[in-house]
């Protein structure tokens, strides 16, 4: 990945502004000439990359040996230039790639890096927070991108039907909606890691996606009582969170809680909510401890309950081993391959969408339903 800091540039009307540039090395195609370093302003609005007249001399090119073209700027003014293909290397690369450049017949133009042959090959990210531009490989191939867009369209179709449908039990709707939102977030997070080329953290998302999908499957098999069980568990976790904060003597959070004018009213109410439900989540025979989750069993038992034990022993176990720094898994780069991570998260969320579609009788096209059915099958 090449990273380029933005540079200040003086403008006649707006003073000094920060502009994205890239440092590249250029070599005329078919030659063994020494690469020449160029500083190019990155312009996503420019169709083709542009060089001044002097670049031809520096590169040893016969300017008019290229194909003559006429370029039109934003204001409609024309520039005569000649097209040349140049081997281009970013600052951190050893292998170059062919880019078409328009070399102008005048010096009165900026050196620009445009979209053609660059933006279709690389991912170019402009980061205004850090004032830098990152140039890296694409995070999806063309085939992967097509599948990704198709899945997003399908997911949006099902989610919109969920949002617009009246449910006979509002608590089931609330519980299901929270799980679907979490599934959406995990799929988006997997894509975000891939975009930033940080897919090495992807196994953590696969583990979370497995847990969310397994809980959703468990919920929807007996939705009314389990939705109540799920929603009421929030009183247990909320109360324990408050107690953990209060147990921090002298900490800033403790002080804010202690000094809050709402504490006298809120604390008894939250305690009463906790005491009303907490007995239902106690471990047996150890009645002094609560389950750390609303479904009152281990994740291994939950996987067996919903029939996902083989996947638990494969994907969940290996993802957990990755999280804990297992010596074999952490040394296996293929386990965190970006498309594998995205595909696993998509599959688990796809199962949730299929369960929702069937339970709410959402109408899908035959091809859409086939995709969800395919995603619902075990993939160990």
Q: Tell me, what's the pLDDT at 185?
A: 96
More confident residue, 126 or 375: 126
- pLDDT at 380 (0 to 100): 54
Flag whether pLDDT at 245 surpasses 80.
no
Confidence (pLDDT) at 335: 65
Residues 6+ apart with CB under 8 A from 372: 154, 350, 351, 353, 354, 357, 364
What is this structure's pTM? 0.85
Q: How far, in Å, CA of 144 to CA of 110, rounded?
A: 36
Average the pLDDT over 5-18 and give the result. 93
Work out the average pLDDT over 114-122: 94
pLDDT digits (tens, 9 = 90+) for 281-339: 998 866 778 999 999 999 999 999 999 999 999 888 888 888 888 888 777 766 678 88
pLDDT score, position 325: 85
Residue 105 pLDDT > 70: yes
Answer yes or no: is pLDDT of 74 > 70. Answer: no
Higher pLDDT, 224 or 328: 224
Neighbours of 24 (CB within 10 A): 26
Say what the pLDDT of residue 233 is.
Answer: 97
Domains, the chain, ordered by start: 2-137 (2.40.70.10), 142-376 (no CATH)
Does residue 265 carry a pLDDT above 80? no
pLDDT exceeding 70 applies to what percent of the chain?
93
Average pLDDT over residues 226-232: 97
Across the chain, what does the average pLDDT equal? 89
């Amino acid at each position: 990945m090449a990273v380029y800091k933005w540079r200040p540039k003086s403008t006649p009307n707006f003073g000094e502004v920060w502009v994205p540039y890239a440092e590249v090395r250029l070599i005329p195609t078919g030659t063994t000439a020494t690469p020449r370093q160029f500083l190019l302003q990155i312009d996503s609005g420019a169709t083709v990359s542009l060089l001044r007249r002097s670049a031809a001399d520096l590169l040893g090119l016969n300017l008019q040996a290229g194909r003559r073209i006429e370029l039109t700027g934003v204001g409609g003014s024309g520039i005569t230039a000649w097209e040349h293909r140049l081997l281009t290397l970013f600052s951190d690369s050893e292998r170059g790639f062919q880019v078409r450049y328009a070399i102008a017949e005048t010096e009165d133009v900026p050196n620009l890096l445009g979209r053609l042959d660059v933006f279709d090959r690389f991912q170019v990210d402009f980061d205004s927070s850090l004032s830098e531009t990152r140039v890296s490989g694409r995070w999806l191939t063309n085939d992967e991108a097509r599948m990704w867009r198709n899945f997003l369209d399908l997911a949006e179709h099902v989610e919109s039907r969920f949002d617009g449908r009246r449910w006979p039990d509002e608590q089931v709707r609330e519980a299901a909606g929270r799980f679907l939102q979490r599934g959406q977030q995990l799929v988006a997070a997997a894509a975000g890691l891939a975009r930033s080329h940080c897919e090495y953290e992807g196994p953590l998302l696969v583990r979370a996606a497995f847990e969310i999908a397994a809980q959703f499957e468990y919920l929807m098999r007996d939705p009314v009582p389990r939705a109540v069980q799920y929603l009421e568990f929030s009183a247990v976790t909320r109360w324990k969170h408050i107690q953990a904060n209060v147990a921090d003597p002298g900490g800033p959070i403790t002080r804010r809680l202690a000094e809050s004018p709402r504490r006298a009213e809120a604390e008894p109410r939250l305690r009463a909510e906790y005491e009303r439900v907490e007995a239902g989540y106690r471990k047996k025979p150890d009645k002094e401890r609560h389950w750390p989750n609303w479904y009152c069993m281990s994740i291994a038992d939950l996987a067996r309950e919903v029939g996902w034990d083989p996947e638990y022993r494969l994907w969940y176990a290996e993802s957990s081993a990755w999280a804990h720094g297992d010596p074999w898994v952490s040394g296996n780069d293929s386990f965190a391959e970006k498309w594998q991570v995205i595909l696993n998260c998509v599959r688990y969320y796809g199962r949730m969408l299929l369960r929702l579609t069937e339970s709410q009788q959402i109408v899908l096209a035959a091809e859409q339903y086939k995709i969800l059915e395919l995603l619902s099958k075990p993939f160990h």
